Amino acid sequence: MGRYLLRRVLLLIPIWLAVYTLTFALMQATPGGPWDREKPVPREVREALDRKYGLDRPVWQQYLDYLASVVTRFDFGPSYTSRGRTVNDILADFFPVSLTLGLLAMAVGTTLGVTLGVVSALRHNTWIDYLAMAFAIGGVSVPAFVVGPLLVIVFALGLGWLPTQGWGRPEQAVLPVLTLALLPAALLARYTRAAMLEVLRADYIRTARAKGLPGRLVLLRHALRNALIPVVTVAGVLLGTIITGSFYVEFVFNVPGLGRYFVTAVTNRDYPVLMGVTLLFATAVAVMNLLVDVLYAYLDPRIRYD
């Protein structure tokens, strides 16, 4: 297990380098630069800005310098748009927000999804099952950009129970978390249901019942634990995408996460911010996948990494 982990962690380095190189190449290839403004910036000013931020150096040198500053000092450079702020400030301020939102949504989504999945498997082909699956289909089909504004219309503008936007107070988190939790809840409900139905028909469940074990014990220790293995795979991958892909929900509910930088860093050609956010999100997804693989070994004794 130790060696496997080490290998996986070392594997992050080439992944990371590839993401860096690709992002750098794309930024170089994109026309328009950070100093192209609606009111044209005089040539002298552009040159001064280029000098200040090192954009007057050859491209290969920019590539190496930035890499060196990230690797040796963990310094992602200054933001071109927010003058006086560094990319490190931006990542440190806003990644925790995206992470909190993502984890909360995943917690709500997993609880809801697994519960619905188990219940509908146990009440197979009853109205409860149908209702739960209708929810699941709805959750998968209706995108966040429909659900989010709908929730605002109903609960904030209509009933006035919750604020329309913002972050920091618990009531401000309710709508964004619900919106973001919908997709994982729906997906996990379907996966859990399918897995549970399969497991419940397995021989070892019949054996457990035949031994006279109480129903709840059979369900929790024997059925659910085995049914969760495929669910964990999905949940792990989902967690990565929920944390990194929440930018639409952050936008609708004005949550000050990192997501908005995905868009603004590109439109502003804020190269260091774009690079910092991309590398961070790439790392987050890679680490999440690694965690899932480790979790497998714990859940399924048949899986061993040697």
Partner 1 sequence: MLALSCRLAIGLVLAAMVVAACRGGPSARDATQAPSEQVLRVPTTEPPTLDPGLATDHTSLDIIWQLFEGLVAFDDQGNVYGVEAERWTVSDDGRTYTFQLRDGLRWSDGHPVTAADYEYAWKRNIAPATASDYANVLYPVLNAQRIHKEGADPSTLGVRAVDDRTLVVQLEQPAAYFLRLAATWTYYPLPRWAIERHGDRWTEAENIVTNGPFKLQAWRHNQELVLVRNDTYWGPRPTLERAIFKVFPEGAEEQWVAAYEAGELDATTTNTPLPPAQADRLRSDPRYQNEIRRFPASATRFIVVNHRRPYLRDPRVRQALGLAIDRERLLNDVLRRAGKPATSLQPEGIAGRKPDLWPTENVQRARELLAEAGYPNGQGFPELTFTYNTADVWKTLGQYLQQRWKETLNINVRLDNMEWKVFLKWRYEPGWTAQGDLYRGGWVSDFEDPYNWYNTLWDSAEDPTQFNGGWGNREYDALVRRARAELDPAARVALYEQAEALLARDYIHIPLFYDQYEVLVKPYVQNFVPSRVLGETPLTKIAIATR
Least CB distance from residue 44 to partner 1, whole Å? Answer: 5
Cα–Cα dist 189/136, whole Å? 7
Contact map string, positions 189 to 228, toward partner 1, x by CB under 8 A: ----------------------------------------
Whole-angstrom distance, CA of residue 150 vs CA of residue 252: 11
By CB under 8 A, the residues from 63 to 82 that bind partner 1 are 78, 81-82
Q: Identify the CA nearest to 195 among candidates 293, 114, 77.
A: 114
d(CA 26, CA 104): 33
Amino acid at 214: P
Nearest approach in angstroms of CB 47 to partner 1 is 8
Residue with tokens 């049914």: 227
Closest separation in Å from C-beta 159 to partner 1: 6
Question: Cα separations (Å) of 47 from 40, 55, 56, 63, 134?
Answer: 13, 9, 8, 19, 60
Contacts of partner 1 in 245-304 (CB under 8 A): 250-254, 256, 260, 263-264, 267-269
Distance, CA of 270 to CA of 87 (rounded, Å): 10
Q: Within positions 83 to 142, which residues make up the interface with partner 1, using CB under 8 A? A: 83-85, 89-90, 93-94, 127, 130-131, 133-135, 137-138
Closer to partner 1 by CB, 73 or 211: give it.
Answer: 73
Q: Virtual CA dihedral for 164, 166, 167, 170, nearest 10 degrees?
A: -30
Cβ–Cβ < 8 Å for 106, 184: yes
Binding flag, residue 158, partner 1 (CB under 8 A) = yes
User: Helix/strand/coil (H, E, C) string of 72-119?
Assistant: HHCCCCECCCCCCCEHHHHHHHHHHHHHHHHHHHHHHHHHHHHHHHHH
Q: Single out the residue of 55, 156, 197, 202 in contact with partner 1 (rule: CB under 8 A).
A: 156
**Count of residues that bind partner 1 according to CB under 8 A:** 65
Residue 123: CA count within 13 A, CB half-sphere: 13
Interacting positions 23-42 with partner 1 (CB under 8 A): 31-33, 35-42
- When the beta carbons of 179 and 226 are compared against partner 1, the nearer one is 179
Token pair belonging to 79 = 């933001």
Q: Which stretch binds partner 1 (CB under 8 A): 145-153, 207-215, 279-287, 292-300?
A: 145-153
Shortest Å, Cβ 53 to partner 1: 8
Q: Mutual orientation of helices 225-244 and 87-122 as an angle, nearest 10°?
A: 150
For the bound state, the minimum distance from the C-beta of residue 5 to partner 1, rounded and expressed in Å, comes to 36
Where along the sequence are the contacts to partner 1 (CB under 8 A)? 31-33, 35-45, 47-49, 51-52, 78, 81-85, 89-90, 93-94, 127, 130-131, 133-135, 137-138, 149-150, 152-154, 156-160, 163-168, 250-254, 256, 260, 263-264, 267-269
